[in-house]
Amino acid sequence: MTGIDADGLRARYRAERDKRLRADGSEQYIEPVGQFAHYLDDPYVVPTPREPLFDEVTVAFIGGGFAGLVTGARLKQAGIESVRIIEKGGDFGGTWYWNRYPGAQCDTAAFVYLPLLEETGHMPSEKYTHAPEILDHCRRIADHFDLYENACLSTEVTGLDWDDDTKRWIIRTNRGDEMRAQFVAMGTGPLHRPKLPGIPGIESYEGHSFHTSRWDYEYTGGNPAGAPLDQLGDKRVGIIGTGATAVQCIPHLAPACAELFVFQRTPSSIDVRNNHPIDPDWFETLEPGWQAEWLMNFTTLQTGGFTDEDLVMDGWTDISKRIRDKVLSSGGEFTRETFIKAYEDSDDEKMTEIRARVDALVTDRQTAEALKPWYRQLCKRPCFHDEYLDAYNEPGTHLVDTDGKGVERIDATGVWANGEHFELDCLIYASGFEVGTDYARRAGFDAVGRDGEHLSQHWADGMQSLHGIHVHGFPNLFVVGFTQGANLISNVPHNLTEAGRTIAMIVDHALDVGAAEVEVTEAAEQAWVERLEAGAVARMTNSPDCTPGYYNNEGQSTGRRGTLNSMGYPEGPVAYFQYIDAWRNSGEFEGLDFR
């Protein structure tokens, strides 16, 4: 693409970033506690009363999202029957239990995003499946591996303590339970606790309001399957936020509301979605083992590697292939410098296309200008949608662009922005989730290990682990996530499925050899952290071309703690998956002490 003024773009990006930088950084958000606690209520299930439990299981898993489901599945496959998943929501699903807002769908292709498709025999109906199908798939996994049998749903863990005398974890919950488990794994999710914008006066609003992760269909009408929101025809509705969630639900709100006011601080980048139904005849042609092959194919291409073909063919692999091919066409030497140059050039092209797409789809010129993103595509979560931009052509839909400043204040009847008052019947917070806050604050409990050490103390200066799974001082405890492991952000379930396999093999081995405890040695933990830290490179999102957001701690430095809490295997996700496969298959479990 010719005619791009790279220097001009850079200057514009920096000016836009500067407009949005705030001294309060992540502190600008407020926790849903006290008078805001009701924003967390479960709108879907009324908890069934039950007697408290004082029993014992072999493995307890905290969290019933993908992490719990895939780990539970791998444990069952390994023949470990006594598995209990403890979940705050009224069913399995995690993110997909809570997020039922209209239009919710996966952003990564279902063939790689949905775990255990071959094991459960499910064919995704679309390339990017919608939320109800994903929630059904979660339930399918739970059914298939008998995970409902022993589960504690609508149950929040409030305490987790290691009892060194009996070599058991004691788990306390808000249901009065005091259960014991030989092993505990935690998959409490990186983005599960809704946050609210700390806008002055937020507590004074008297109209109806809710957070997108607790969508109130009783108020709006409609349902998660896409039925029209038929109770909004006489309502003035406001939505704060234009991130990945808002991008998916605004196309459903726009035709339904009498008036819709979208309060925008920073526009998202909206690339083409190109969703399509899956052809069952084609699905039949896939050979056994296809999902593992697709996963590695996606991961390889998404992280700049080479394969004979692109099986997934989506926006994620497209970004990386562009960068890789630019390096090749400019001489082919892969150094940090050639990579950055190729990244910047291909990003300039991509973002120019994305801004041109806004012009092509949005009729009103002023609205189109305000919807153009001025930053690099990977500074914020890239969005892909084929109806979002058109939603602004609906006569009742108004973009209230705040030029990076955000909503000024909220009062009893509505919202103030740009010095203007917008009276509203309903205010929807599409304001996202806590990221990077203390894990115990997000999880709602703090594990207490051997010698009474709290996990939050052990991690006070940043996460310390082997493989992101094992923590010294916390025997028989496993953490399931992606940090300090593969760190594959574009397809989180892939990280979880591999971690689940690793944990199942370790538990199986511990039971086989009759070990009461398995724990990472201090030396192995330290060596792993040192190795990852030595290979950690400055994150692209920290560049001055990046607008603030949760990807870069709202533009503020996080120091070493931030590096430890976000780093992954230096050689990348593909190398990590190969490494961990060899590590666990060797049967040595190097770095772990079985005793």
The residues binding ligand NDP (CB under 6 A) are 20, 105-107, 191, 197, 199, 240-246, 248, 263, 265-266, 381, 406-407, 430-433, 549-550
CA separation for the pair 590, 575 (Å, rounded): 18
Q: List residues bridging with 260 in a β-sheet.
A: 237, 397
CA separation for the pair 398, 581 (Å, rounded): 52
* Assigned token pair, 101: 């807002």
30/78 with CB nearer ligand NDP: 30
108/476 with CB nearer ligand NDP: 108
70/427 with CB nearer ligand NDP: 427
Q: Check if the beta carbon of residue 258 is closer than 8 Å to that of residue 397.
A: no
- Kind and range of the H or E element at 208? strand 208-211
How near is the Cβ of 264 to ligand NDP at its closest, in Å? Answer: 7
How near is the Cβ of 321 to ligand NDP at its closest, in Å? Answer: 21
* Assigned token pair, 393: 């052509």
Q: Check if the beta carbon of residue 551 is closer than 8 Å to that of residue 541.
A: yes
CA separation for the pair 92, 72 (Å, rounded): 12
Burial class (CB in 10 A: 0-12, 13-18, 19+), 38: exposed
How near is the Cβ of 250 to ligand NDP at its closest, in Å? Answer: 11
How near is the Cβ of 508 to ligand NDP at its closest, in Å? Answer: 32
CA separation for the pair 590, 330 (Å, rounded): 42
Cβ count within 10 A of residue 345: 17
* Assigned token pair, 312: 């997934």
Q: Check if the beta carbon of residue 80 is closer than 8 Å to that of residue 508.
A: yes
Helix (H, G, I), strand (E, B) or coil at 418: coil
191/440 with CB nearer ligand NDP: 191
CA-based radius of gyration for the chain: 24
How near is the Cβ of 42 to ligand NDP at its closest, in Å? Answer: 18
How near is the Cβ of 188 to ligand NDP at its closest, in Å? Answer: 16
CA separation for the pair 178, 183 (Å, rounded): 15
243/449 with CB nearer ligand NDP: 243
326/442 with CB nearer ligand NDP: 442
* Assigned token pair, 372: 């153009």
244/455 with CB nearer ligand NDP: 244
298/433 with CB nearer ligand NDP: 433
243/414 with CB nearer ligand NDP: 243
How near is the Cβ of 592 to ligand NDP at its closest, in Å? Answer: 32
Question: What phi, psi does 83 have (nearest 5°)?
Answer: -125, 130
How near is the Cβ of 26 to ligand NDP at its closest, in Å? Answer: 10
Q: List residues bridging with 271 in a β-sheet.
A: 384
How near is the Cβ of 365 to ligand NDP at its closest, in Å? Answer: 23
264/502 with CB nearer ligand NDP: 264
How near is the Cβ of 315 to ligand NDP at its closest, in Å? Answer: 12
Find how far residue 116's CA is from the centre of its chain.
Answer: 19
How near is the Cβ of 128 to ligand NDP at its closest, in Å? Answer: 8
204/330 with CB nearer ligand NDP: 204
Cβ count within 10 A of residue 333: 10
The alpha helices in 175-263, defined as continuous H runs, are: 217-220, 244-253
92/113 with CB nearer ligand NDP: 113
265/357 with CB nearer ligand NDP: 265
How near is the Cβ of 560 to ligand NDP at its closest, in Å? Answer: 25
C-alpha distances (whole Å) from 192 to each of 188, 323, 432, 444, 593 are 8, 32, 9, 11, 32
* Assigned token pair, 513: 């050899």
The alpha helices in 226-278, defined as continuous H runs, are: 244-253
Q: Write the CB contacts of 42 (distance below 8 Å, at least 6 apart in sequence).
A: 88, 89, 90, 154, 214
Closest CA to 114 of 273, 287, 294: 294
Helix (H, G, I), strand (E, B) or coil at 559: helix
How near is the Cβ of 156 to ligand NDP at its closest, in Å? Answer: 22
What is the torsional sign of CA 166, 168, 173, 176?
negative
